[in-house]
Structure 1
């Protein structure tokens, strides 16, 4: 009979080689699927430029670009606010409540009852047209006059009907000249404009002062269809901004809401309050812990923003229409790179993005390869 011979089982080396082959084959998938990372690379951002058919202008920051882009929207009041005169403390307005006392030099007067020498008229409210009604004097215009001027008008009217009338006018309530104070103040409310509170700073004090850090407090005044906004510290340091208030003004105190976003290979990725009126790119990076020493590419620091038309025209050196998407590139490895970053101002709404160094992706790829091979060796050892 013919003797049958069985083929030997695969040797250990053959199994390990097969697993190694499978691990290496997985690298094909790694090439097709991106490895984990913190965001796009420099090359990917560059591909979105106008020159490459994208919709963003990508500019390397030099001295000229830094100067042209150094624009910070400023707070302040327009001339209509700055030129407004103070409200007369004694001026009567619609809504005020007045009190009149009239003396007549006769025993049986027009207004006084028998045996009385005077007549008191209380709670006379100035109507929306600015008038009050006084018996025998008719409708008298009160708004725009001082109590003394109104006293003379009423005296003249009554003098034709009763001999030598004597009139006094007092303001019972001054609700006709008020402002509203809201927001982060000690006490919100509607306050009359009185002699001590005719300016913005005095009215804020009347409302209990601000209840937020003065360094980040912003004061907005709305007057009709206009509004102005200033930093609280500018109000106290510059008397010009201590504007005169007008009836109907609305005063709002808020905490500064300006911020920028930090992303990429930084010490932290978060939305960051600006905290002061101006900060530069170096300060912005420092506020989130600086560049990540194990990941960051110091040649790929980007500041992304929508630039107003006027600023974009100045930066690009040509006319453009509307806001423009800009990606400013800061290379910190240049001889003056840190100085340029220090001169480049960060604005509200900016995104500061730092790309990863090229070797980081190689490191991740090698880790994936060695990890796959180690896994293959472990599986081969188990199969022995």
Structure 2
């Protein structure tokens, strides 16, 4: 019995060491391919069908000889069809990746400028003369008949008047009518002061000989616009006989505050919101003072914090980057606010910009930052609000993370093998 027990002990030890060796070998095999299972966020790309137009043209050009004959057309087409796509999960459709280069940035800037010009032309129209409306106060003088001036009422005392009190004069009621002695009730809404003057002269001519009538605006209260957001004094602004331009409305609201984004002004007109890029208008040579507001318009100046972009991944300081006062923020600006890419962990060839929402068509842009020319592209590529900038990690970092996860298991197996001996 004793001899049997002694013979079994080495077998158990050998089995333990064998299993420990198998565990170590398995761990090492997983370690070698561990980059594919590395923890953390990664931008996974795959090859999809559908080549871009630029790739197709390049493939066709490579398949044509100098004498004009075509060779290996099918092979070049197959190589051109290797377009990269990105997919977040299996439930989401694959999204083509747009490669950022100088030509694409130049083309996108030109398209943005053209779209801005068309949008401004859509909102621009010729200002119309001021028309009297409900709530306006008129000053009416009939010369050589001072007794009619008493109908205007006495001028309120300066210390007792309030901002909402109307000026001394004849008030146009809510129906747009004006009551004047001897002339009766006249409907004046939508008329200019000179037209009201002619109608009063004709009505008073029945009682007076060639009456001389003067009609002036005493208080403009019928037509207003509302300015809010990042201005110093938001509120209601009355429109007078001088057409109110975009610049004048902002100036009368106290000007932009320090947190204002001058590239995002939202004009609500007739229930439709229009985005106005004041910075792009000036850069395109358009004069914002030629864009006039109408009565009932609502102008909102958006804060820069609402148009931030997110920078994450292998950067020194993941941050929500804020545009400057002009509202512009480029890819280089966003990376600068994030403390630049992490030189030890980042893969400069894998920088992505994710754009879009769930209710729209998302876009993914890729930039290979290993070339100095790529920094020029990053400096000129404008980001849009709520873009996501992601810098992927390099293969060595993923290998190191897998190693850190597997080392405890390897050490435990080796320790068990040593103890079993």
- Name the TM-score, length of structure 2 as normaliser: 0.66
Report the equivalent of 1:263: 312
Residues 65-84 of structure 1, C-alpha deviations (whole Å, 9 max, x = no match): 44444454765663354333
Give yes or no for contact 2:84–2:96 (8 Å, CA) kept in 1.
no
Tell me the C-alpha RMSD between the 2 structures.
4.4
SS at match of 1:7: helix
- Residue 231 of structure 1 deviates from its aligned partner by 4.7
Report the equivalent of 1:37: 39
Instruction: Provide the rounded CA distance (Å) in 1 between the counterparts of 2:139 and 2:101.
Output: 72
Report the equivalent of 1:254: 302
**In proportion to residue count, which structure has more helix?**
2
Give yes or no for contact 1:197–1:206 (8 Å, CA) kept in 2.
no
Give yes or no for contact 1:267–1:290 (8 Å, CA) kept in 2.
yes
Give yes or no for contact 1:259–1:274 (8 Å, CA) kept in 2.
yes
Give yes or no for contact 1:196–1:202 (8 Å, CA) kept in 2.
no
1:208 aligns with 2:254: yes
Equivalent runs, 1:327-338 vs 2, <5 Å: 327-334=364-371, 336-338=373-375
Give yes or no for contact 2:201–2:211 (8 Å, CA) kept in 1.
yes
- Residue 241 of structure 1 deviates from its aligned partner by 0.5
Instruction: Provide the rounded CA distance (Å) in 2 between the counterparts of 1:364 and 1:79.
Output: 56
- State which of 133, 137, 142 in structure 1 corresponds to 2:188: 142
Residues 324-367 of structure 1, C-alpha deviations (whole Å, 9 max, x = no match): 65433322334744444445443334332222222333333334
SS at match of 1:348: coil
The runs of 5 or more residues in structure 2 that have no matched partner are 51-82, 86-92, 154-168
1:96 aligns with 2:136: yes
Give yes or no for contact 1:38–1:356 (8 Å, CA) kept in 2.
no
Give yes or no for contact 2:13–2:420 (8 Å, CA) kept in 1.
no
Instruction: Provide the rounded CA distance (Å) in 2 between the counterparts of 1:335 and 1:172.
Output: 66
- Name the TM-score, length of structure 1 as normaliser: 0.71
Instruction: Provide the rounded CA distance (Å) in 1 between the counterparts of 2:264 and 2:380.
Output: 25
Report the equivalent of 1:154: 200
Report the equivalent of 2:383: 346
Quick one: structure 1 residues 297 and 235, their matched pair in 2 at CA, closer, same or farther if it must change by over 3 Å? closer
Give yes or no for contact 1:179–1:246 (8 Å, CA) kept in 2.
yes
Give yes or no for contact 1:261–1:351 (8 Å, CA) kept in 2.
yes
SS at match of 1:93: coil
| Deviation larger for 190-199 or 292-301 | 190-199
Instruction: Provide the rounded CA distance (Å) in 1 between the counterparts of 2:372 and 2:152.
Output: 84
Quick one: structure 1 residues 81 and 147, their matched pair in 2 at CA, closer, same or farther if it must change by over 3 Å? same
Instruction: Provide the rounded CA distance (Å) in 2 between the counterparts of 1:57 and 1:153.
Output: 68
Residues 20-70 of structure 1, C-alpha deviations (whole Å, 9 max, x = no match): 5445455678779964433235xx312467568963223444444444444
SS at match of 1:57: strand
- Residue 19 of structure 1 deviates from its aligned partner by 4.1
Q: How many pairs were matched up?
A: 355
Residues 288-335 of structure 1, C-alpha deviations (whole Å, 9 max, x = no match): 22222222222222233359xxxxxxxxxxxxxxx7654333223347
SS at match of 2:151: strand
Report the equivalent of 1:316: none
**In proportion to residue count, which structure has more strand?**
1
Report the equivalent of 1:5: 3
1:293 aligns with 2:343: yes
Quick one: structure 1 residues 180 and 277, their matched pair in 2 at CA, closer, same or farther if it must change by over 3 Å? closer
Instruction: Provide the rounded CA distance (Å) in 1 between the counterparts of 2:356 and 2:177.
Output: 54
- State which of 399, 404, 407 in structure 2 corresponds to 1:362: 399
Give yes or no for contact 1:93–1:143 (8 Å, CA) kept in 2.
yes
Give yes or no for contact 1:299–1:331 (8 Å, CA) kept in 2.
yes
- State which of 269, 293, 299 in structure 2 corresponds to 1:245: 293
Q: Which has the higher contact order (CA 8 A, sep 6+)?
A: 1
Give yes or no for contact 2:329–2:382 (8 Å, CA) kept in 1.
yes
